[in-house]
Amino acid sequence: MGFWKSLFSSADAPSATKSMSIALESVEGASDRGSHVYFSTDREIDLYELEELCSAVGWSRRPLRKVKKAIQHSFLVVTMWEQRGTQRRLIGFSRATSDHAFNATIWDVVVHPDFQSQGFGKALMKHIIKKLRSEDISNITLFADPQVVDFYRRLGFMSDPEGIKGMFWYPD
């Protein structure tokens, strides 16, 4: 995938993103749109912008107070941004809960429809996996909707390994 080749150092970040320059990591994307795509682990996210992203993929609204709390208490939050000149746009999001030792569970993986089927979701997931592995987390899990099971399988996720079943509790 040729467009994942260029690097975008934090020193190049325009002023609008300076506050998150520490969180800027290896920036893996420079799309063919005359823009850059980069990842951040900064948690200072505009919740309305996040809500807009989630609405774009058809997710139902959630109380912002709870979304904020969930972000605060996630082990890892990764956002994906398109930078075009001084403008940046939130195009992807994911987060993981964890015990900081053995297990992590990835939640809320979302990529804006304009950026789907172009490798951005895969890049986002690979970034999260790399981060979790670098924290010595050995067991990376998630719960996949039926339509994305194959997407995750191609990334190395197995469903029901050795018969282990993902289960959800529902009140009687």
CB contact at 8 A, 76 and 85 = no
CA dist list (Å): 104 to 76, 85, 92, 118, 138: 9, 35, 19, 26, 8
55 binds a copy of itself (CB under 8 A): no
35 binds a copy of itself (CB under 8 A): no
Name which of 55, 40, 51 is nearest 10 in CA terms.
40
Q: Which of residues 71-100 bind a copy of itself (CB under 8 A)?
A: 71-75, 95, 97-100
Q: Annotated catalytic, 48?
A: no
CB 64 → a copy of itself: shortest distance, Å?
Answer: 11
CB 8 → a copy of itself: shortest distance, Å?
Answer: 27
56 binds a copy of itself (CB under 8 A): no
Can you tell me the distance from the alpha carbon of 111 to that of 125, in angstroms, rounded to the nearest whole number? 10
CB 59 → a copy of itself: shortest distance, Å?
Answer: 12
SS3 call for 88: strand
167 binds a copy of itself (CB under 8 A): yes
- The radius of gyration of the chain's CA atoms, rounded to the nearest angstrom, is 16
Contact segment (CB under 8 A) with a copy of itself among 1-9, 25-33, 59-67, 78-86 equals: 59-67
Helix (H) or strand (E) holding 68: helix 64-72
Site residues (vs a copy of itself, CB under 8 A): 62, 66-67, 69-75, 95, 97-103, 105, 107, 129, 139-146, 149, 152-153, 155-172
By annotation, the residues acting in catalysis are 152
